[in-house]
Structure 1
Amino acid sequence: MECASKEVLIRTFQTEKRYLLYGYFYPSSSIKISSILIGIFMLVYSWTEFFSMVAVLFVEKDNLTKLSETLLFCMTQAAFLCKLTNFLSKNKKMFKIEEILTSPILTNLSHSEMVVLDNYIIEVTYLGRLFRVLCILTVAFYGMFPFIDEDPEHMLPLPGWFPFDIKTYQYELVAAQTIGIGIGAFINSTLDILPTILITLASAQFDILKERLRTVMKVDERWEISSKIVKKRLNNCIMYHNFLLQYMKEVESLFSNGILVQFAASVMVICLTGFQMLLISVKSMQFILLMIYFSTMTCQIVLYCWYGNELMYKSMGLSEACYMSDWNMCNSEICTSLYIIMERGKRPLVLTAGKLFSLTLTTLMTVLKSSYSYFAVLQRLYSKND
């Protein structure tokens, strides 16, 4: 084995770590007053924007169109704040996650294993960048929306209640809300990409583990000597598997509740976005804006479900990898060890959101179906009121 750098796995989410450190949201051994102040500012700003939208829900409670539009953004903001609060309450677990990722058992990789890891990292990095581009486009379009839309009612990017005349301070409020959208998109996208990268690292490691199990018998020495080598390799594979299970247990514990809130909010947000698109002209700027917003919110849950499903699929192949090794050439002791690994590998590693449902493509379809069901109900209510 060629020993890779201890920081090789940590570097994969270095960008997300650096972004979260700007507001002191990521745990750090060194305390920076400036980062803490920036974090407090972001939190206060985001909560103020949220309560401003909540006030509109009470003021416009009899207007279904306005109510659905406000609830759309209110649910997005609420999900973001809940995810951030959950991460802040448990972010010390990142120390444990980093400790596992820097352990020699996971970083002692050969050149071919590093290639496997790099391929996974490249894929998730590109998808993460695509998601960030969608977030940036959303922020940019919402900031410009009040000035390019012909509807005089849309004076601000977001619905909000203010105790003064909006027309008098329109430019100031547009700038303030755009900053709020930017803060939410910046932190929220980071909190989505970080767990996605961590899950992808586990999928890559399972691929490496399966390859080690397939080739565990391939030695050139005499059988009396190679039997000891095979036994040592199997013990390393068992330790490797235990580390991966412990690693994913920490990841799930840190992000599970936040993902649950995000999925619950996404059902409503996708539904309400579709409902809003139904009410407006396809030629309007608002329709284009909602299309971008819809794509961003859909991409958000697709990231979790796709990579959660990938992890489940990769963890299911341990039994097959053991069977594909030359087990018929080894002694009974090694066969017993392989059998135990095969039995343990029959149960796939499935990530859950709040211990309620799994992060799989089946769950993604359930979310989309639920969104459509609520959309149909809203459409029917609107038709009756109309």
Structure 2
Amino acid sequence: LVPFLTFLSFPLGEQLDVTQINFNAAFLAETLCFIMKLLPFIRKERKIRKCIHYFGDHSFTPSSKEQKIIIDDCLRVCRRNSMVLILSVTLTAVCWIIRPLFMPDYALPLEVWLPFDIKADIKIYYFVYIYLAIGILCVAYAGSTPDPLIGGLACHGASQFMILQHTLQNLSHLAEKETSGAHINNINYINLSCSSFVNEYEECFSFPIFTQFVASAFLICFTSLQLGRSNNLTKAIYMSQWYEYDVKSRKALIILMESSQKPVIVTAGKILDVSLETFGIVLKRSYSLLALLRNYQ
């Protein structure tokens, strides 16, 4: 209901400023992203359960101290990343929610359309405020909780390949010559099982990962593109009635035109321009690389 009321604020809301529009648009974008993330949990529940319990089989049990260290490191990294993500999301959501408390008048965390006046009664205002706060927290956690699972499963898959690498490097110490053939067959079986896990993982989470990547890249490039509006200053000066100004004002406008000819471009790491052109190039090169890799399979 909260996203729907937020959406209605665009055609039915009154006196929306740019800040409110940006906040509402960000909330709706986050809602759309979390819906895309949750779709696989509805459509592919069995496969996701299979991925979660995939490495619970006894054949993946670590057989040495070094292999157990690899698993423990993976668990530690997953716990750390999950805690950092949850704390960051909580802090961001709380700051968003309490922001209106420091603003004048009856401000709300989101500018939503309502069929009644919240200023009529203080109880109505607090009820709507708490309801919106709960809605924001639900969207924030629903959109972020799949991320630790997606990253954690990838980390566990990588740890199994690291264990395979360690086993192959120390095969002569782990197995006798008489049993090395059986040991290699077991390694082969585990390798095929890990490859099967990767295929299951990709089928379950490929679309959510793609949605997250495209949405983040597009949002960053699109917002940074707005800074390029400074390039229109020269055109705006030329289209104005500059010929009616005095000589001193015209000289000042000439200086402004010269200084605005240099485009304002935001770079990522002083290497890439953050723009829609870069976004298109990244997608094009990514697809070319993917097509090349598929041809070599």
TM-score (norm 1): 0.53
Please state if 1:119 is matched with 2:73.
yes
Please state if 1:186 is matched with 2:105.
no
Matches within 5 A, 1:53-202: 53-59=6-12, 65=18, 66-150=20-104, 152=105, 155-168=107-120, 169-202=124-157
Counterpart code for 1:195:
I
Q: Residue 109 and residue 162 in structure 1: after superposition, are their counterparts in 2 closer, same or farther (change >3 A)? A: farther
Q: Residue 274 and residue 62 in structure 1: after superposition, are their counterparts in 2 closer, same or farther (change >3 A)? A: farther
Contact 1:209 1:237 in 2 (8 A): yes
Q: Residue 272 and residue 50 in structure 1: after superposition, are their counterparts in 2 closer, same or farther (change >3 A)? A: farther
CA deviation profile, 1:136-191 (whole Å, cap 9, x unmatched)? 112211221111135x5x81112322222233432212111110111122222211
Alpha-carbon separation, structure 2, partners of 1:199 and 1:184: 24
1:217 partner SS? helix
Matches within 5 A, 1:213-252: 213-218=168-173, 226=177, 228-252=178-202
**Residue 95 (structure 1) shift:** 3.1
Alpha-carbon separation, structure 1, partners of 2:25 and 2:158: 37
2:119 partner SS? coil
Alpha-carbon separation, structure 2, partners of 1:155 and 1:138: 18
CA deviation profile, 1:195-237 (whole Å, cap 9, x unmatched)? 111111011111111011111233685xxxx1x3222221111
**Residue 133 (structure 1) shift:** 0.4
Alpha-carbon separation, structure 1, partners of 2:171 and 2:6: 59
CA deviation profile, 1:226-261 (whole Å, cap 9, x unmatched)? 1x3222221111111111111121122111112222
Alpha-carbon separation, structure 1, partners of 2:136 and 2:54: 35
- Higher deviation after alignment, 168-177 or 59-68: 59-68
Contact 1:155 1:170 in 2 (8 A): no
Q: What is the total number of aligned residue pairs between the two structures?
A: 232
Alpha-carbon separation, structure 2, partners of 1:268 and 1:129: 27
Contact 1:100 1:243 in 2 (8 A): no
Contact 1:87 1:255 in 2 (8 A): no
Counterpart code for 1:159:
E
Alpha-carbon separation, structure 2, partners of 1:199 and 1:103: 17
Matches within 5 A, 1:357-376: 372-373=274-275
Alpha-carbon separation, structure 1, partners of 2:144 and 2:162: 27
CA deviation profile, 1:345-378 (whole Å, cap 9, x unmatched)? xxxxxxxxxxxxxxxxxxxx7xxx78x425x9xx
1:163 partner SS? coil
Contact 1:52 1:161 in 2 (8 A): yes
TM-score (norm 2): 0.68
Contact 1:97 1:251 in 2 (8 A): yes
Q: Residue 175 and residue 135 in structure 1: after superposition, are their counterparts in 2 closer, same or farther (change >3 A)? A: same
- Higher deviation after alignment, 211-220 or 252-261: 211-220
Q: Residue 62 and residue 231 in structure 1: after superposition, are their counterparts in 2 closer, same or farther (change >3 A)? A: farther
**Residue 63 (structure 1) shift:** 6.6
Alpha-carbon separation, structure 2, partners of 1:271 and 1:56: 26
**Residue 62 (structure 1) shift:** 10
Alpha-carbon separation, structure 1, partners of 2:136 and 2:196: 36
Q: Residue 193 and residue 242 in structure 1: after superposition, are their counterparts in 2 closer, same or farther (change >3 A)? A: same
Alpha-carbon separation, structure 2, partners of 1:267 and 1:53: 24
Alpha-carbon separation, structure 1, partners of 2:190 and 2:221: 43
Q: What is residue 160 of structure 2 aligned with on the other side?
A: 205
Contact 1:61 1:67 in 2 (8 A): no
Percent identity over paired residues: 24
Q: Structure 1: any 5+ residue segments left out of the alignment?
A: 1-47, 277-364, 377-386
Contact 1:75 1:268 in 2 (8 A): no
Structure with the greater alpha carbon radius of gyration = 2
Contact 1:55 1:161 in 2 (8 A): yes
1:195 partner SS? helix
CA-based RMSD of the aligned residues comes to 3.3
Contact 1:135 1:185 in 2 (8 A): yes
Contact 2:41 2:48 in 1 (8 A): no
Contact 1:106 1:240 in 2 (8 A): yes
Q: What is residue 265 of structure 1 aligned with on the other side?
A: 215
